[in-house]
Structure 1
Amino acid sequence: MTSTTERPAFPRAAKPPSWWERQGDLLMRRPFNEWTFTHMNWLMPTERVARGDRREPLPYEPHHLDLTYRFEGRDRTLDELHRRTNTTAFLVLHHGRIIHEYYPGVFAGPRTRMQLFSISKSVTSLLVGIALAEGAIGDIYDRVVDYRKDFVGTAYEDTTVAELLTMTSGVGDLEVWDVPDSGIKRFEQATMGGGSVLEVVRQAPRTAPGGERFNYSTFDTQILGWVLEAATEMSIASYLSDRLWRHLGAERDAFYWLTRGRPRTAIGGGSLNATPRDVARIGLLMIHDGVAGGRQVVPSEWVRRSRGSEMPQLAVGQLGPSGYAHYGYSNQWWTLGSASFDAFTALGVHGQYLYVDPSADVVIVKCSAWPTQDDEGRDRETIAALRRIADHFASAR
């Protein structure tokens, strides 16, 4: 007679995530992301941002930028910058002219529409400024629920438009990409996997009183975009086309990619795609106090508001754990100084930059394919190089 013993009960191993659940991670890795960031319209539903009838080519006066920048005790060349920071597109305007243009990315070129990630946030801010001037949005101190009743009962119920613009809503956790169940990862999975982006945002917890501290938040800008759409009764893509893109003299249509889940929605904090030259036109708009093609497209006071804030928690070096020490924040733009004519920049993960220096009359667009979403070392090096380029032209005036 054979004796039997009871088998020990081992916990069942967790089921590994499927490709569908991990697609965000896979598509963002090198070297795949060089293709991904130039072909988002092949991967996701999209909505067109029409450029309109007026096309105004940028004057082209190429120069060889034979200069170096100082970083970590060494002088480095721009070739080193591009290699070390995975540049895919690099464009420099001075006095509104293209003086340097380079596309080291395998799939990049002048007509390539690049995935801009959170540069989209700064564009959303410009659209909010236009909507305020038109009266579609009544006041920056209006509440989210004045426009979106579906946020009654959520942590965003008493949040104002002003708090969304400064990312001081006090809602949501620290935006980190390497924690599987963080808010931003659940947001990413919902956008790409067919889940409800609305429910992910509605479930965000309150973590601080409104207006008290800065916490970088794609959720805040997503709601800002939804407020804009509700107030204007237009999609963000249609509003961008009609109120801004067609006035820039853009060379190509842009597009937003949309969530897979229905109702499909653009990601106002991260899904705009456009050519580097057309992104540079936004920088020119900022240098010219909101004027493009002889028309006041964005209110001048809104542009100036984007160059710096008087809120102490938004000053350079005071942003806390969700901002690098060399940045401040204002109106969905990253600031680099305290004066109204200091440089400021729009930023996107994986190394996207729209750098604007009004005093030097310089605009620089850098698109990249970093292996990770955030990288403080690559960011500091990039800013050192962009400052050096702007200073070069400022000193040559």
Structure 2
Amino acid sequence: MTSTTEQTPIRAAAEPSWWDRQGDLIMRRPFNEWTFTHMSWLMPTERVSRGGAHLPLPLSPCPLDLTYRFEDADHTLTELHRRTFTTAFVVLHHGEIVHETYPGAFAGPRTRMQLFSVSKSVTSLLVGIALADGTIGSIKDRVTDYRPDFLGTAYEETTLAELLDMTSGVGDAEVWDVPDSGIKRFEQAVMGGGSVTDVVRSAPRRAAPGERFNYSTFDAQILGWVLEAATGRSLAAYASERLWQHLGADRDAYYWLTRGRPRTALGAGSLNATPRDLARIGLLMANDGMVAGEQIVPRDWVRRSRGSDQPQLGVGSLGPSGYDHYGYSNQWWTLGDSAFQAFTGVGVHGQYLFVDPGADVVIVKCSAWPTQDDERRDRETITALRRIADHFA
């Protein structure tokens, strides 16, 4: 007898829509050279006003025909820019612009660049300012002292100090190529109108607080929210009043905001500023928090950002979520084995704010890497930046 049982057709899984994939499209080469300079065309924004004071950076150009050695070969800076997709490159020595180039198709001195996680380092400065004001009581305060909606989550007992050093123990490793990873769900909520707060609140605990380093956009994002709760101001407004208006900046900066309401800036990654204005932040750090004789960021806070005495945060001790040539402290990547105690802000796709106080050198490098992370390109970049600092030292 012949069976007449119907077979249910097997349907292929639906392809993700453009809306679901827009984060990937924004970051893909060669489109990212345009998107990283036009985020205000793609997302809602809030301005970080520079105010009226302007302090021009002196120009003292000099040729940088030096080479750096990487993987048993010598390379020029022109080769660095080609190999690491540089879009903007500014070098300050003694507060003067000594070298400046814009290889990016859409970049220039007045172009505001997407800085990604260099934003985290700026958020740290704002926390230091709020602590000095007494607006935030102490880095020993808990997240829930300012955001009670995190009661009942893995962040309930987390202190601000643990957020600053990314030792909260909350959340998994940030993996961009796994569709359902925490960072991808965060990105989709940001771009697609979902609840970013719900994504962060749902993060699981993976280690005891303070026990180990785990690079975490969530930790930095909560710091931005704590700042807003403590100050009663948006992140952009507070950054303008207490930082940008004191830098003598060339242009307003801006944060782009989440599509979902209530819209929020990403203290973990949505600041956009010109390369020269970012260099002014580096100069502030090189000068122990001072601009034109005014103490903007407490000196001790700047020093805290140059390195940590916690063994799990030392250079080469960060574990799987940090490269061997880095340590971490206060939302900055540290290079403690350098004779000049250099440290740097780093953002995905190759954004750098490198500061070497001993050499009095600040370097800004903006890039459009084809991938979010690349250990080899990062190592080559740091090798080249340190070679430049050594040259001037």
**The two structures share one fold, judged by TM-score above 0.5:** yes
Cα distance between partner residues in 2 of 1:264 and 1:294: 36
Match runs of 1:91-110 below 5 Å: 91-110=90-109
Q: Specify the alignment match of 1:151 in structure 2.
A: 150
Q: Which amino acid aligns with 2:342?
A: A
> 1:102: how far off?
0.3
* Partner deviation per Cα, 1:186-214 (whole Å, 9 max, x = no partner): 00000000000000000000000111000
Is the CA contact 1:304–1:340 (under 8 Å) kept in the aligned structure 2?
A: no
Cα distance between partner residues in 1 of 2:117 and 2:221: 11
Unaligned runs of 5+ in 2: none
Q: Specify the alignment match of 1:244 in structure 2.
A: 243
Is the CA contact 2:327–2:334 (under 8 Å) kept in the aligned structure 1?
A: yes
Q: Specify the alignment match of 1:322 in structure 2.
A: 321
Cα distance between partner residues in 1 of 2:171 and 2:255: 24
Compare 252-261 and 333-342 and name the one that shifted more. Answer: 333-342
* Partner deviation per Cα, 1:89-111 (whole Å, 9 max, x = no partner): 00000000001000000000000
> 1:293: how far off?
2.0
State the secondary structure of the residue aligned to 1:244. helix
Cα distance between partner residues in 2 of 1:57 and 1:195: 41
Unaligned runs of 5+ in 1: none
Q: Specify the alignment match of 2:363 in structure 1.
A: 364
Q: TM-score, normalised by structure 2?
A: 0.98
Cα distance between partner residues in 1 of 2:129 and 2:254: 20
Q: Which amino acid aligns with 1:238?
A: A
State the secondary structure of the residue aligned to 1:163. helix
Cα distance between partner residues in 2 of 1:74 and 1:6: 68
Structure 1 residue ranges (4+ consecutive) displaced by more than 6 angstroms after TM superposition: none
Is the CA contact 1:51–1:252 (under 8 Å) kept in the aligned structure 2?
A: yes
State the secondary structure of the residue aligned to 1:359. coil
Cα distance between partner residues in 1 of 2:10 and 2:392: 64
Is the CA contact 1:172–1:207 (under 8 Å) kept in the aligned structure 2?
A: yes
Q: Specify the alignment match of 2:211 in structure 1.
A: 212
Q: Which amino acid aligns with 1:119?
A: V
Is the CA contact 1:308–1:338 (under 8 Å) kept in the aligned structure 2?
A: no
Q: Specify the alignment match of 1:77 in structure 2.
A: 76
Q: Which amino acid aligns with 1:90?
A: F
State the secondary structure of the residue aligned to 1:355. strand
Cα distance between partner residues in 1 of 2:131 and 2:353: 24
> 1:339: how far off?
7.1
Q: Specify the alignment match of 1:127 in structure 2.
A: 126
Match runs of 1:20-35 below 5 Å: 20-35=19-34
Cα distance between partner residues in 2 of 1:6 and 1:109: 68
Is the CA contact 1:237–1:255 (under 8 Å) kept in the aligned structure 2?
A: yes
Seen in structure 2, the aligned counterparts of structure 1 residues 322 and 380 have a Cα distance that, compared at 3 Å, is same
Cα distance between partner residues in 1 of 2:352 and 2:200: 26
Is the CA contact 2:340–2:359 (under 8 Å) kept in the aligned structure 1?
A: no
Q: Specify the alignment match of 1:264 in structure 2.
A: 263
State the secondary structure of the residue aligned to 2:127. helix
> 1:11: how far off?
3.6
Q: Specify the alignment match of 2:49 in structure 1.
A: 50
Cα distance between partner residues in 1 of 2:68 and 2:342: 17
Cα distance between partner residues in 1 of 2:125 and 2:339: 17
Is the CA contact 2:286–2:357 (under 8 Å) kept in the aligned structure 1?
A: yes
Q: Specify the alignment match of 1:198 in structure 2.
A: 197
Q: Specify the alignment match of 1:229 in structure 2.
A: 228
Q: Specify the alignment match of 2:351 in structure 1.
A: 352
> 1:10: how far off?
4.5
> 1:338: how far off?
4.9
State the secondary structure of the residue aligned to 2:369. coil
* Partner deviation per Cα, 1:234-280 (whole Å, 9 max, x = no partner): 11111110001111100000000000000000000000000000000
Match runs of 1:181-196 below 5 Å: 181-196=180-195
Cα distance between partner residues in 1 of 2:107 and 2:348: 18
Seen in structure 2, the aligned counterparts of structure 1 residues 340 and 204 have a Cα distance that, compared at 3 Å, is farther
Cα distance between partner residues in 2 of 1:365 and 1:58: 14
Match runs of 1:373-388 below 5 Å: 373-388=372-387
Q: Specify the alignment match of 2:115 in structure 1.
A: 116
Q: TM-score, normalised by structure 1?
A: 0.97
Cα distance between partner residues in 2 of 1:268 and 1:278: 18
Compare 156-165 and 336-345 and name the one that shifted more. Answer: 336-345
Number of aligned residue pairs = 393
Cα distance between partner residues in 2 of 1:101 and 1:339: 24
Cα distance between partner residues in 2 of 1:359 and 1:140: 28
Cα distance between partner residues in 1 of 2:3 and 2:213: 63
Q: Which amino acid aligns with 1:272?
A: L
Is the CA contact 2:342–2:357 (under 8 Å) kept in the aligned structure 1?
A: yes
> 1:15: how far off?
1.0
> 1:9: how far off?
3.1
